[in-house]
Amino acid sequence: MVQGELHGGSPETTITDIAEIQNATSTEVTFVGNSRYYKHLETTDAAAVILPAKYSGDFTPRIVVQNPQLAVKILIDHFRPLRPQSFEGVHETAVIHQTAKIGENVTIGPGAVIGLDSIIGDKTIIGSNVNIGQECSVGHDTHIYPGVTLYDRCTIGARVILHSGTVIGSDGYGFTQEDGIHKKIRQVGSVRIEDDVEIGSNCSIDRATLGETIIGEGSKLDNLVQIGHNVKIGKGCLIVAQVGIAGSTKLGDYVIVGGQAGFAGHLQIGDQVTVASKAGVTKDIDAGQTVSGFPAIPHNDDRRQIVYIRQLPEMVQRLKDLEGKLAQGDSSE
């Protein structure tokens, strides 16, 4: 099933589930994806362990695969089928505006609210107490978890997953000062979330001032991520938890951003850029670069900087020695 090579053990063994290596029993298969956990091989009771090709030990029975994560995905899909929902269909306490259009086989949970002229695609699941504004469009086979809010005129694609507490389409942070008072620039643009995007819990995705804020096809956002107004995220990007991207910044495709990193506004970030955790990006970045630090610089330069900083005490000592020698030299002249 996982296209692996079995070493030791019997191909006849019946496997009933997949489990973590510390907890797996003699009828369960487990895996080690990270060499930090090879130590658990000594004590596991698992029926077999999925290991990466680079594993050089002699543990058996093992199933060697190219990509243990993919094998785990396949086995979870196999052993843990989706369960039925507590509340199927459109719940009687959901409040759906009479002008909204609801597709076939849609689930709408208790207390969910759907506004004027909004459209919900077939087989989409909308959790309890979700708030969907007016003129929104939600694609088919999408899952919106409880407590999500969509403001008016947001577009959500097909097979999208939005986790609880996430807010899509709140006003961008736009003010102009007039006589010492911050006057609100109304945010009349919208948000477009393309197909196959997943957004974690408690994220804030602001609507555009004019035009659209866009999260590109297949991109995956972790929890507590901040996306400013008019930001464009390309396709297949990975944005880890607590990242903040300020207004109008554009990320290319397949950009990877580590946790707690931040971007200034109005930047252009090329395709396949990698930004390390906690980095602060203040300038445009060309495609393919890896940056870290604040202000973010090429990762190798940043690493070298850290090494140099750690040598500072030694440098000060060397400077002192030189000064001492020179003073001696002076006085001996």
Active site positions, annotated: 229
Q: Which of 14/332 has CB closer to its own copies?
A: 332
Q: According to DSSP H, which parts of the chain are helical?
A: 68-79, 299-310, 312-332
Tracing tokens 């719940």 back to the chain, one arrives at: 91
Name the one residue in this structure whose structure tokens are 């507490």.
165
104 versus 307: smaller Cβ distance to its own copies: 307
Q: Which is nearer to its own copies, 54 or 104 (CB)?
A: 54
Classify strands 297-298 and 290-292 as parallel, antiparallel or unpaired.
antiparallel
> What angle do the packed helices 312-332 and 299-310 form, to 10 degrees?
50
3-state secondary structure of 155: strand
Cα of 148 vs its chain's centroid, Å: 17
User: In the bound complex, what is the minimum distance in angstroms from residue 215's beta carbon to its own copies?
Assistant: 13
Q: How far is the CB of 123 from its own copies (least distance, A)?
A: 17
Place of tokens 């602060």: 280
- Give residues with Cβ within 8 angstroms of 107, minimum separation 6: 85, 87, 88, 89, 90, 124, 125, 126
Question: Is the Cβ of residue 91 or residue 123 nearer to its own copies in the bound state?
Answer: 91
Least CB distance to its own copies at residue 326 (A): 6
Closest separation in Å from C-beta 185 to its own copies: 5
The least distance separating its own copies from the CB of residue 271, rounded to whole angstroms, comes to: 12
Long-range contacts of 167-171 (CB under 8 A, 24+ apart): 167/203, 167/204, 167/205, 168/193, 168/199, 168/205, 169/133, 169/205, 169/206, 169/207, 170/204, 170/205, 170/206, 170/207, 171/206, 171/207, 171/229
Closer CB to its own copies, 272 or 289, in the complex: 272
